Structure 1
Amino acid sequence: LYDLALIDCPPNFGVITRSAVAASDQLLIPARPDELSTLGIDHLQSRLRRFTWEFNQVADLQADLRPAVKKLEPMILGVVFTMVQYYGGQPVSALRPYIAQTRSLGLPVFDAMLRESNKHFAGAARAQLPAILTEQLSRELAWELQSLVEEFLKRIRTANHGS
């Protein structure tokens, strides 16, 4: 039995992602701060609402046959921006409007963001190690990963105590 399981899904709303949503209490949405990803987040919310409604309708109809099936009430824990380009310690100005636009959707957005770093992540894949364990990990990326984990755990604790 696990207290926490992260399920990494493909960037679509296919059967794997829908199954993961059905098995989850909270959802984490990784996204790039760009136009297509911002549109994709809005589309994902719409698909998520429809899937939740349809699932719960079927669950209600089959309540006598499958009483153990719980209704879906997935909570979006937040959007985490990845592949962020930085200048002067903050996201470059071209990305900031997309970050602000995502915040305006009413979704929680993580303060922690992960920089674009093909060198570190590709090197980790070649070494078959998590990026945090590779020798070439930059201080900035290590700090960003640590900040993301701390914020994630804080949000999970808050979500679990609120429910």
Structure 2
Amino acid sequence: MSSNDKIRAARIIAVANQKGGVGKTTTAINLASALAGSKRVLLVDLDPQGNASTGLGVGYDQRGNGSYAALMQEAPAASWARETSVENLHIITADNDLAGVEIELIASERREYRLQEALQQLASQYDFILIDCPPSLGILTLNALVAADGVLVPLQCEFFALEGISQLVRTVERVRRAFNADLHIAGIVLTMYDRRNNLSELVAADARSFFGEQVLQTVIPRNIRISEAQSHGCSVLEYDRRSSGATAYGMLADELAARVAARPERKG
């Protein structure tokens, strides 16, 4: 089956920002957990650091076949995804082997399509597939953008935050032209928002002024429960469902799902 002939159910969203420390993995974990309340969800940990895997309680000794095996087609597709403690949420884990993918694929044909071709084998089992990208714009992130329908961009409410997004937007446009004409910005989500901090308000206002409706209405607040949940290897929705962080990610899931439903499905 070619990349233009595939049939799939899942909407695929890459969670990406080449700037580190913006809440990307935190957003991927908690958004996936929130969506799993009513959808079948697969989270793909595509970051060699493996923080999304750790954040959902999967230790290094438990990971087995994961995103490296999926990219390299080294094991049956049925072995890539594993259950998590969240009902309806599966994860394809990451480990240090991913760090060598860029070198291993350098001479490979269609190296940009490896993840797309892997996810074709799983997509009918899920409603959403979220991809936690590494904080860079290398071959792993390129694979995610080629496979994805849309990109969710976490934007930290801090100084210099807007600078990195311009580069990502240019990358998305290049991927659209060269590999994936259906790729779009699914949304920009403001993270680490502190209403007591004037800087958060200024960054939010600048983002909405520049990017308009691409900026989601839901904002993710600074909330200690989110950090505590990660240290316990679970989502904030499992750790403290009544917290402001859990409430925000629930609202984000609803808003993103509504946005995605409003767009036509990717052709082919």
Q: Give me the TM-score of the superposition, normalised by structure 2.
A: 0.48
| C-alpha distance after superposition, 1:85-116 (max 9, x if no partner) | 123xxxx3222222222223335111111111
Residues in 2 aligned to 1:21 and 1:82: alpha-carbon distance in whole angstroms: 21
Question: Where in structure 2 are the equivalents of 1:1-163 lying within 5 Å?
Answer: 1=124, 2-53=126-177, 55-56=178-179, 71-87=180-196, 92-107=197-212, 108-117=214-223, 119-135=224-240, 138-160=242-264
SS of 2:171's partner is helix
Residues in 1 aligned to 2:173 and 2:211: alpha-carbon distance in whole angstroms: 15
Higher strand share: 2
SS of 2:127's partner is coil
Unaligned runs of 5+ in 2: 1-123
Deviates more, 1:120-129 or 1:20-29: 120-129
Alpha carbons 2:157, 2:199 under 8 Å: kept: no
Alpha carbons 1:30, 1:82 under 8 Å: kept: yes
Alpha carbons 1:9, 1:17 under 8 Å: kept: yes
Q: Which runs of 4+ in 1 moved over 4 A?
A: none
| C-alpha distance after superposition, 1:10-34 (max 9, x if no partner) | 2221211111000011111111022
Alpha carbons 2:182, 2:266 under 8 Å: kept: no
Q: Which has the higher contact order (CA 8 A, sep 6+)?
A: 2
Residues in 2 aligned to 1:162 and 1:86: alpha-carbon distance in whole angstroms: 38
Matched pairs, number: 142
SS of 1:76's partner is strand
Q: Percent identity?
A: 23
SS of 1:147's partner is helix
Deviates more, 1:37-46 or 1:92-101: 92-101
Residues in 1 aligned to 2:166 and 2:151: alpha-carbon distance in whole angstroms: 14
| C-alpha distance after superposition, 1:116-161 (max 9, x if no partner) | 12x32232122221111114x5532232122111111111111237
